Amino acid sequence: MKNYKILIIGGGIAGLTAMNRLEAIGLSPILVEQAQSIRTDGTGILLGINAVSILAKMGLADHLAQNAIKLSAMVGLDEKGDKIVVDDLAYIEEKSGFGTYGIRRDTLSKILLESINQANIITGKKVVHIANEENGVKVSFEDGETHIYDIVVGADGIHSIARKSLFGDIPLRDAKQGCWRFIAEKPEEFMQNAIFEHMGLGKRAGYMPTDGGKLYIYALLDSDKFDKNNIPNHAQLLEQFQFGGLWKIVSSAITDESKCVFNEIKDLSEICITKGRVVLIGDAAHAITPNMGQGAAMGIEDADVLAEILSEKEDIKKALAKFEKRRYKRVKMIRDKSYILGKMAQSSSKILSAIRNVIFKKLPAKSLSDDTFKTLSKW
Ligand SMILES: Cc1cc2nc3c(=O)[nH]c(=O)nc-3n(C[C@H](O)[C@H](O)[C@H](O)COP(=O)(O)OP(=O)(O)OC[C@H]3O[C@@H](n4cnc5c(N)ncnc54)[C@H](O)[C@@H]3O)c2cc1C
């Protein structure tokens, strides 16, 4: 393995995982992050078996077992709180050998950070432009410095400057849904180790336990149900969510003290992976909607595959071309499936949502879990 000079832009989940995987094959990348410290904000994240199997390969299985909550099922509910469909995560664990976990994003960042050489991380360092040149990639920083690298890994998120420098302005596709995410104290009555989602008309809400005795709660509304210029506070939001069952316990956990993050749901209209000696990973390459809980997992897969390919091929351009071939179909399939699922899960049509519920109820036992296993066990 040549000692390539590699720059990773961005210290999110994709960038940190890439650093770990590239170090594991004997490389010493430098990671730059524009913020003054590696991000420890965010709310909750669902880690599917694909992400978990790579984290286990990274030696982090014990950390997950200690710091995250293993989930036994993903349960789809109607507005009243009646069960429509179950994805049996315990069964998927039996088949794959890997659990599905609920974790706070800051906990995951901390675990990843501890697994890499932090001496090679430079925070407060913003990239403003990159360009492929004959002898490498020229990277310009906000502080006026410029450096040349053999390979640049753009892991700088949905608004990636690496992508913009090489591919121009790629529009985001607006799913026309707003999403509120909360981290709240888990009420004592909430004992389930599972993730639940109520599917309503033009709205949906879900919740799962996470580490630290917290509950991760999310609520989505179609964009025509709120004013983007006057985002509702949690009390105004909850008035629109009169779901039954567990939701009554869960919604009372959302208080002024709960952490709240609001996002408009968007994905990237075109997948952009490589150009010259630059490779994009994570949201920079293929931001997806959160409906399958697979955004971060796709970045984790990218990082693992990139290291695998770089360890096999000396020629950088050939290696990156192979990476693109391997990743394009995979991330496109997940992006497209996730977008459709999001539309289906909160259809505002009474007829379509009734048909959806009937189809879900009639699914043969384990068929959804077999599909999840198939989708997440190979990439
Ligand atoms: C509502 C919602 C719910 C979600 N739920 C899940 C879930 O349950 N499971 C899941 O797997 N995924 C989920 N996701 C998706 C997941 O959060 C993202 O896919 C993932 O965090 C993206 O990681 P990343 O490292 O690619 O990008 P980011 O986390 O955006 O990290 C990019 C980093 O690059 C830095 N940066 C940016 N520009 C520059 C620059 N010019 N110079 C230097 N540094 C720079 C940023 O500061 C940031 O730290 C969800 C997303 C949303 C919106």
pLDDT for 2: 75
Give mean pLDDT, residues 343-372: 95
Percentage of the chain modeled with pLDDT above 90: 96
**Which element (helix H / strand E) includes 75?**
strand 73-77
Extended beta strands in 169-258, E state: 172-185, 195-199, 203-210, 214-222
Q: Which of 312, 315, 269 is nearest to 288 (CA)?
A: 269
pLDDT for 365: 87
Whether 261 is covered by a domain: the verdict is: no
For a mutational test of ligand 1's pocket, the pick from 40, 45, 108, i.e. the residue with the most ligand atoms closer than 8 A to its C-beta, is 45
Sign of CA dihedral 290, 293, 299, 301: negative
Cα 182 from chain centroid (whole Å): 16
Q: What is the pLDDT of residues 163-174, one digit of tens each?
A: 999 999 999 999
pLDDT for 78: 96
Q: What is the mean pLDDT of the chain?
A: 96
pLDDT for 153: 98
Evaluate: CB of 299 within 6 angstroms of ligand 1: yes
Number of domains in the chain: 1
Whether 189 is covered by a domain: the verdict is: no
Q: What is the pLDDT of residues 21-77, one digit of tens each?
A: 999 999 999 999 999 999 877 899 999 999 999 999 999 999 999 999 999 999 999
Evaluate: CB of 335 within 6 angstroms of ligand 1: no
Give mean pLDDT, residues 191-199: 97
**Model confidence at 237: pLDDT above 70:** yes
Nearest ligand 1 atom to the CA of 265 is 53
Whether 138 is covered by a domain: the verdict is: yes
The Cα–Cα gap between 57 and 49 comes to 12
Q: Could you tell me the pLDDT band of residue 245, with boundaries at 50, 70 and 90?
A: very high
Q: What is the pLDDT of residues 99-114, one digit of tens each?
A: 999 999 999 999 999 9
Residue whose CA lies nearest to ligand 1 atom number 31: 12
For a mutational test of ligand 1's pocket, the pick from 64, 140, 156, 273, i.e. the residue with the most ligand atoms closer than 8 A to its C-beta, is 156
Evaluate: CB of 263 within 6 angstroms of ligand 1: yes
Q: What is the pLDDT of residues 174-185, one digit of tens each?
A: 999 999 999 999
Give mean pLDDT, residues 5-21: 98
The Cα–Cα gap between 114 and 107 comes to 11
- Residue 319 alpha carbon to ligand 1 centre in Å: 25
Whether 282 is covered by a domain: the verdict is: yes
Kindly state the tokens that stand for 213.
Answer: 């005795």
Evaluate: CB of 157 within 6 angstroms of ligand 1: yes
Extended beta strands in 150-277, E state: 151-154, 172-185, 195-199, 203-210, 214-222, 259-268, 274-275
The Cα–Cα gap between 236 and 340 comes to 28
Tell me the residue type at 177.
Q
Evaluate: CB of 99 within 6 angstroms of ligand 1: no
Kindly state the tokens that stand for 191.
Answer: 């004992």
| Residues in Cβ contact with 369 at an 8 Å cutoff, skipping those fewer than 6 apart | 87, 88, 89, 91, 92
Sign of CA dihedral 83, 85, 90, 91: positive
| 335, 271 Cβ separation under 8 angstroms | yes
Whether 160 is covered by a domain: the verdict is: yes
Residue whose CA lies nearest to ligand 1 atom number 30: 157
pLDDT for 10: 98
Cα 128 from chain centroid (whole Å): 24
Whether 210 is covered by a domain: the verdict is: no
pLDDT for 42: 84
Nearest ligand 1 atom to the CA of 128 is 41
Residue 24 phi, psi dihedral angles, 5° rounding: -65, -25
Whether 195 is covered by a domain: the verdict is: no
Evaluate: CB of 301 within 6 angstroms of ligand 1: no
Q: Which of 107, 22, 116, 19 is nearest to 68 (CA)?
A: 107
Evaluate: CB of 302 within 6 angstroms of ligand 1: no
Evaluate: CB of 178 within 6 angstroms of ligand 1: no
Whether 347 is covered by a domain: the verdict is: yes
| 283, 158 Cβ separation under 8 angstroms | yes
Evaluate: CB of 28 within 6 angstroms of ligand 1: no
- Residue 296 alpha carbon to ligand 1 centre in Å: 7
- The CATH number linked to 369 is 3.50.50.60
pLDDT for 1: 65
| Residues in Cβ contact with 374 at an 8 Å cutoff, skipping those fewer than 6 apart | none
Residue whose CA lies nearest to ligand 1 atom number 38: 156
Kindly state the tokens that stand for 242.
Answer: 């009169």
- Give me the domain span that covers residue 272: 6-172+267-377
Tell me the residue type at 137.
V
- Residue 302 alpha carbon to ligand 1 centre in Å: 14
Please report how the helices 367-377 and 89-96 are oriented relative to each other, as an axis angle in degrees rounded to 10.
50
Q: What is the pLDDT of residues 289-312, one digit of tens each?
A: 999 999 999 999 999 999 999 999
